[in-house]
Structure 1
Amino acid sequence: MATERGPRVTKRRGETRQRLLEAALVVFAEEGFGRSTVEQVCSRAGYSRGAFYSNFSTLDELFLAMWEQRSADHVARMREAFEASEQESAPDLQGVVEHLLRAVPLDEEWYRVSAEFTAHALRSPDLRRVIADRERAIAASTLPFLLKALAGIGRVVPDPEALSQALVAVHDGTALQCLSEPGDAVVRRRRTDLFTRVVIAYSNESGEES
């Protein structure tokens, strides 16, 4: 009987944790991370404070768990996008960039939440280190898909870390522009063009001098 009860408790705990994560995203997006409280998250999820503290010690910890989950989803999207790219009969640079953008869609709700948490984290040396470490881990997990796709069209990247940082900077900057003017097709087109130019700038055709 004890062994049968264990998995059910584990499953229930997982469901509670997931509902708290989903509720927190809504609360953070609506209220702002700095103004959100444990009580608001629990109320949205339909749980007591006890349920929260049996899963997370702070809202910071909850956000980082949310980020970890979204990072895993991001890696999965990158894999799917570039597996689709490999199936194309004659992929080119534009196709590679289009698949890359498909893997990093614009999400206003997440942008608002993550931007506010980043500002909060910059006030804490410990959180700064956590963010830097997690950004490096995400890059290490996703960049190989892009490098393989570029190799498939005859391009090599001398400094993958530099390319990764440049792409993150372009994504963050153009995301704000696109979300500020959601109906402007020109802004979206320029986002794609800028991604393409960055990939060209940080890669060479096979056989070129670096």
Structure 2
Amino acid sequence: MAGTGAVARRTYGGRSAGERRAERRERLLMAGLELFGTEGYAASSIEKLCTHAGVSTRNFYEEFASREDLLMALHDRIIEQAFQAVFGAFEDVAEAPIRERFTRAVRAFVTTTASDPRWARVSYVEVIGVSNAVEQHRIAWREKWARFLVAEAERAVDRGEAESRDFHLGAVALIGAVNELVHHWSMSGGKRSLDDVIAEIVRVATAAVTAP
């Protein structure tokens, strides 16, 4: 009987404590996406997030140390998906000319991060200037992207498509240009086509790698 009681305490409604906790965490992430992505980080208190998610503030602090922690977890989710999409795009056209490789990779990045206007707002607006911790988080992602782009530029050198040089500053500049252009597009309300934005980013990216 003691064993049966222990099982009963660990499960509720057919779900384990771990499953219920994972569901609460997911609801908080979805609340963060909705509120940060529509009303903004500054306007979204922990109490408001908890109400939207249908959880208690105690549940919140069981999953996240702070609103910043929730914001960074949400940003991680978005950018990790974008990173994997870009990596997959480069892999799919590994032997193609540089312009085609960049076109596929840029399209993968843009269609992932801007597929939902809330994702775009979190990625390009709400993570900027929140706090030192969030800035360090954002910069760490920027450096990861920069290393990834430098590696791709160096592969272009190996193929004879570019001259060897230090590509790091160019990679950082490209990341800034991409972020601004995608944010501009996401906020334009359809005034610019996605293909126009992708073409412009590809021109900038190709020039950043192949310019002498």
- Normalised to the residue count of structure 1, the TM-score between the two structures is 0.76
- After TM superposition, give the deviation of residue 84 of structure 1 in Å: 1.6
Residue 25 of structure 2 corresponds to which residue in structure 1?
A: 17
CA distance in 2, matches of 1:191, 1:151: 26
More displaced, 24-33 or 71-80? 71-80
After superposition, the Cα gap between the structure-2 partners of 1:83 and 1:145, relative to the gap in structure 1 and judged at 3 Å, is farther
Residue pair 1:93, 1:196 contacting (<8 A) in 2 also: no
- The match for 2:199 is 193
Q: CA deviation at 1:34?
A: 0.4
Asked whether 1:30 is paired with 2:38, we answer: yes
Matched, 1:202 2:208: yes
Structure 2 gap segments, 5+ residues each: none
1:145 positional shift: 6.9
Q: Structure 2 counterpart of 1:202, which letter?
A: A
Q: Spell out the pairing of 1:176-191 with structure 2 (5 A cutoff).
A: 176-185=183-192, 188-191=194-197
Match of 1:172 in 2: 179
- For residues 85 and 160 of structure 1, the distance between their equivalents in structure 2, rounded to whole angstroms, comes to 22
Structure 1 segments unaligned to the other structure (5+ residues): none
Once residues 146 and 51 of structure 2 are traced to their aligned partners in structure 1, the CA distance between those partners, rounded to angstroms, is 35
Q: Tell me which amino acid in the other structure corresponds to 1:79.
A: F
C-alpha change, 1:44 and 1:100, in structure 2 (3 Å) is: same
Deviation at 1:119, TM superposition (A): 4.1
Indicate which of 96, 108, 119 corresponds to 1:110.
119
Q: CA deviation at 1:168?
A: 1.2
Deviations 1:79-136 (A, max 9, x none): 22122213xxx62233112211122125221222344434442xx3444333322321
CA distance in 1, matches of 2:156, 2:24: 42
Equivalent in 91, 100, 105 of residue 95 of structure 1: 100
C-alpha deviation, 1:66, in angstroms: 1.1
Q: Which letter does structure 1 place at the counterpart of 2:99?
A: Q
Letter in 2 for 1:117: E
- C-alpha contact (below 8 Å) 2:93/2:101 kept by paired residues: yes
Structure-1 residue corresponding to 2:77: 69
Structure whose alpha-carbon radius of gyration is higher: 2
TM-score, normalised to structure 2's length? Answer: 0.75
> What amino acid sits opposite 1:111 in the alignment?
A
**How far apart are the structure 1 equivalents of 2:150 and 2:18?**
34
Aligned residues: 198
- Structure 2 distance, partners of 1:180, 1:117, is 14
Contact 2:181/2:197 (<8 A) preserved: yes
- Who is 1:44 aligned against? 52
The Cα of 1:52 is off from its aligned counterpart by 0.6
Instruction: Supply the AA of the counterpart residue of 2:97.
Output: D
